[in-house]
Amino acid sequence: MGGHRSWPWWGIGVFFAVILGSYLSPELGAPAEIARLQALFGWSEPAARLVVIAWRKLLHLLGYGLLGLSLVVLLGRRGISRRRRVWLALLLAAGVAALDELVQSRIAWRTGLVQDTILDVVAAVLAVGVVEARNAGRPEGEKTQ
């Protein structure tokens, strides 16, 4: 695989590298990030917490959007029908999101939240929706690029 055809694999690889990396150390947890922002910028705890929460939610949106997009493109290249690839990509993204939050709930410096799972699924739905809206005028047999 080379060039533009390999980007979905890179997207999935980067996604999982970031997820796994975030499990490795308490220094990557929200309390440590809040403390760093307070020390660097002299922010109050509520201000630093708000920035960390907003940043993490943005990462959820981007990460699971990328995962959903990568999955729907890869499934489209396998010749899977439009309806089936959409549902399969969304189910896979939702499964990964639920598993990610479950794992986080078992790590002392992480917090697994149902709300994050919902946000992750919404991100995947939006990304898949964009791709499928773009492909709406194409014949069913044409592969997603």
For the chain, which residues make up each domain, given as ranges? 59-134
Tell me the per-residue pLDDT of 55-64, one tens digit each, with 9 for 90 and over.
989 988 998 9
Output the pLDDT for position 84. Answer: 93
Contact 90, 68 (CB under 8 A): yes
Cα 71 to Cα 15, 17, 40, 65, distances in angstroms: 12, 16, 39, 10
Q: How is residue 111 annotated by DSSP?
A: -
Q: Is the pLDDT of residue 69 over 60?
A: yes
pTM: 0.81
User: Residue 51's CB: how many other CB atoms inside 10 A?
Assistant: 15
Please state the rounded mean pLDDT for residues 79-102. Answer: 92
